[in-house]
């Protein structure tokens, strides 16, 4: 009798390696970065502190944070050649395609064969961290037919990006909500895009190739693109009075309701309450509660009838919408955030590397002979 091989589709439940970067605590359902609960980091830290934590393993002192910020801010500008590449992007291209290509171009500007010392990868991580907002904002302005705005070194990471996109720094509550969203999206263990970066890193390829792979994985609507899909869903519903009927129709037609469910969080994403608080604050600022009211209807029915709960993308989509971003910008913003987690994983993988090469179970035809073309 043939031995049956157990298949774990999507590697569901399979532990493939160890990590010290982040964990979803099994009892509390809380996401932690290097042992710190992410909601507490949102309350007490800025995004730059969290980036430092993910890379170095500890929160910075004031002196360390000051040096870290100076290092990041002096790298924000991109070269003329890089700008020329971005200017040639088709205006119809999705911003995830343009940032993927822009990161890939950055990798051509230096010799990086992969497997370099940790110090070199830390240097390149900072280079990516500093320049990716400039790449995204430059493409955002140019595709809208507007003059690009140079980065400023007197602004925080979040302030500078918002300034480069909109030409002004918005009110403090908007900056805070945006900064919190970056913290919440920064890292999430072996998700699809992070695993993609680790697979590429495990071949001893360079960090730019690994990050490009991560961007490609993040683009998918079942991963990073979900926040875009959430907002498109809300716009399709249009009004709170239509929410229940829309959802009932989605149930009947077996349509996917975006922003719900998560492979790791079975009883609700622990990041949601923090992002929901930001969404409520933005709704007060804009005096626009329509999107929250629609989401409340959907969330109540999904919980009662399907026992499925929102994930982070659910409040993040309308939050970015109220900040003024075009919907196709949501996932590139995710890249701005997750570059910290990706590069932390690249460095962790390199520190104790083993080529990631899973097996598969073959289900095709049995071995056969090749017939001459005249007899086929």
Catalytic residue positions, numbered:
262, 313
Strand 36-37 vs strand 31-33: parallel, antiparallel, or unpaired?
antiparallel
- Which 3 state secondary structure label does DSSP give 115? coil
Q: In terms of C-beta density within 10 A (0-12 exposed, 13-18 middle, 19 or more buried), how is residue 197 classed?
A: buried
Distance from the Cα of residue 276 to its chain's centroid: 18
What is the DSSP-derived secondary structure letter of residue 59?
P
d(CA 349, CA 335): 20
Edge-to-edge strand ranges of the sheet holding 22-24? 22-24, 31-33, 36-37
Burial 333-353 (b: 16+ CB within 10 A, else e): bbbbbbbbbbbbbbbbbbeee
CA quadruple 369, 370, 373, 376: dihedral, nearest 10? 50
Structure tokens at 95: 């911003």
Residue 264 token pair: 């790791």
CA angle, 212 as apex, 100 and 129 as ends, to 5°? 80
* Helix, strand, coil percentages for the chain (3-state, nearest 5): 60, 5, 40
State the DSSP string of 302-354.
Answer: IIIII---B-THHHHHHHHHHHT--GGGHHHHHHHHHHHHHHHHHHHHHHT--
Whole-angstrom distance, CA of residue 355 vs CA of residue 250: 43
Please, are residues 335 and 139 in contact by the beta-carbon 8 Å criterion?
no
């Amino acid at each position: 009798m043939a031995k049956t091989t157990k298949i774990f589709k999507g590697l569901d439940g399979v532990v493939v390696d160890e990590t010290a970067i982040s964990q979803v605590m099994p009892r509390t359902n809380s996401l932690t970065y290097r042992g710190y609960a992410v909601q507490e980091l949102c309350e007490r830290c800025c995004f730059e502190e969290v980036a430092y934590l993910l890379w170095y393993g500890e929160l910075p002192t004031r002196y360390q944070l000051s040096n870290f910020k100076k290092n990041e801010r002096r790298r924000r500008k991109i070269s003329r050649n890089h700008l020329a590449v971005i200017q040639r992007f088709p205006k119809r291209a999705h911003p995830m395609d343009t940032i993927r290509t822009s990161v890939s171009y950055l990798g051509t500007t230096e010799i990086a064969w992969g497997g370099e010392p940790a110090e070199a990868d830390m240097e390149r991580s900072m280079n990516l961290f500093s320049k990716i907002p400039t790449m995204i904002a430059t493409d955002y302005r140019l595709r809208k037919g507007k003059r690009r705005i140079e980065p400023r070194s007197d602004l925080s990471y979040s302030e500078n990006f918002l300034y480069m996109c909109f030409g002004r720094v918005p009110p403090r509550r908007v900056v805070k909500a945006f900064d919190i969203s970056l913290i919440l999206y920064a890292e999430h263990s072996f998700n699809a895009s992070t695993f993609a970066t680790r697979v590429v890193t495990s071949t001893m390829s360079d960090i730019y190739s690994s990050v490009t792979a991560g961007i490609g994985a993040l683009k998918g609507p079942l991963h990073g693109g979900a926040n875009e899909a959430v907002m498109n869903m809300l716009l399709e519903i249009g009004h709170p009075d239509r929410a229940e009927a829309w959802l009932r129709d989605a149930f009947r037609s077996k349509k996917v309701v975006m922003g719900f469910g998560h492979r790791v969080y079975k009883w609700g994403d622990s990041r949601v309450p923090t992002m929901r608080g930001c969404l409520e604050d933005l709704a007060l600022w804009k005096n626009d509660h329509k999107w929250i009211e629609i989401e409340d209807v959907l969330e109540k029915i999904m919980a009662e009838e399907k026992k499925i709960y929102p994930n982070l993308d659910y409040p993040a989509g309308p939050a970015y919408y109220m900040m003024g971003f075009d919907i196709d910008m949501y996932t590139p913003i995710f890249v701005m955030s997750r570059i910290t987690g990706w590069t932390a994983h690249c460095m962790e993988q390199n520190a104790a590397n083993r080529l990631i090469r899973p097996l598969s179970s073959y289900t095709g035809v049995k071995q056969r002979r090749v017939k001459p073309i005249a007899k086929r």
